[in-house]
């Protein structure tokens, strides 16, 4: 939280792309594209507003410590890593997808996932997976992966995966199928609590513009 400079933490890819129209609604335009620029601090059309580009799972960390005043993070990241110390006033309804359990096509998930049985689950989301299966009474061995979860059941590293599914194309291309819906995911606005107090005059109009843009989008 540096003096009167407003710092916004975003991750590259879908969140950045889908955030651009929201930023535009608050008259904020990043001056470079993180896909082509190697810069991690991107200036905007306002001298006192900058965007920092960080990994999706690091966005809440930068905001929690005040290195960014606010940011945009997936609900998946907030559930998995916790949202302590963060104010999140608004579901932006962007980067929507579902947290699902998926298995190899033809794998008899219904009979192997009865209460009392034991399954090996590969995932980037060990906390979400553990909670889900403990509610079902299914014992799990969690194998933490950092990417390409879809590979795990194909090479028998795991029985199932817990991962985000958007179009379903990645599952389909790898001969997998979704068998259980854990929760719906979308991106949330997260704000550092001290920034909200100290930079209220700068931040509040942005929240208002984002709120109006989200409402307008959901009416379309």
Residue 210: how many CB atoms within 10 A of its CB? 21
Minimum distance between the CB of residue 151 and ligand AMP, rounded to whole angstroms?
A: 10
Q: Which is nearer to ligand AMP, 9 or 49 (CB)?
A: 9
Q: Is 122 one of the binding residues for ligand AMP (CB under 6 A)?
A: no
List of long-range contacts for 166-170, beta carbons under 8 Å, 24+ apart: 166/96, 166/97, 166/98
Q: Which is nearer to ligand AMP, 162 or 213 (CB)?
A: 162
Q: 200: which residues sit within 8 A by CB, 6+ positions away?
A: none
Furthest-apart CA pair in the chain: how many Å? Answer: 60
The two structure tokens encoding residue 142: 């969690």
Binding mask 162-191 for ligand AMP (x = CB under 6 A): -xxxxxxxx---------------------
Instruction: Give the interface segment with ligand AMP, choosing from 46-54, 126-134, 161-169, 198-206 (CB under 6 A).
Output: 161-169
Minimum distance between the CB of residue 168 and ligand AMP, rounded to whole angstroms?
A: 5
- Report the alpha-carbon angle 34-212-85, nearest 5: 65
Q: 105: which residues sit within 8 A by CB, 6+ positions away?
A: 175, 176, 177
Size of the site for ligand AMP (CB under 6 A): 12
Q: What is the chain's Cα-based Rg? A: 19
Q: Is 10 one of the binding residues for ligand AMP (CB under 6 A)?
A: no
Minimum distance between the CB of residue 26 and ligand AMP, rounded to whole angstroms?
A: 22
Q: Which is nearer to ligand AMP, 29 or 217 (CB)?
A: 217
Contact residues for ligand AMP, defined by CB under 6 A: 14, 74, 95, 97, 163-170
């Amino acid at each position: 939280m540096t003096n009167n400079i407003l710092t916004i933490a975003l991750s590259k890819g879908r969140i950045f792309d889908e955030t651009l129209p929201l930023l535009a609604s608050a008259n904020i335009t990043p001056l470079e594209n993180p896909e082509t620029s190697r810069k991690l601090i991107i200036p905007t059309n306002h001298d006192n507003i900058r965007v920092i580009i960080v990994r999706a799972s690091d966005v809440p960390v930068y905001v929690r410590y005040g290195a960014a005043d606010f940011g945009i993070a997936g609900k998946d990241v907030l559930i998995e890593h916790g949202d302590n110390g963060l104010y999140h006033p608004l579901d932006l309804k962007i980067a929507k997808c579902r947290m699902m359990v998926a298995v190899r096509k033809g794998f008899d998930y219904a009979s192997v996932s009865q209460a009392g049985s034991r399954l090996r689950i590969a995932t980037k989301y060990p906390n979400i997976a553990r909670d889900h299966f403990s509610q079902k009474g299914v014992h799990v061995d969690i194998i933490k992966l950092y990417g390409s979860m879809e590979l795990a059941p194909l090479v028998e590293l795991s029985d199932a995966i817990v991962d985000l599914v958007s179009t379903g194309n990645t599952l389909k291309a790898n001969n997998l199928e979704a068998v259980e819906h854990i929760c719906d995911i979308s991106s949330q606005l997260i704000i550092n609590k001290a920034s909200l107090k100290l930079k209220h005059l700068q931040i509040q109009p942005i929240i208002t513009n984002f709120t109006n843009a989200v409402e307008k989008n959901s009416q379309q």
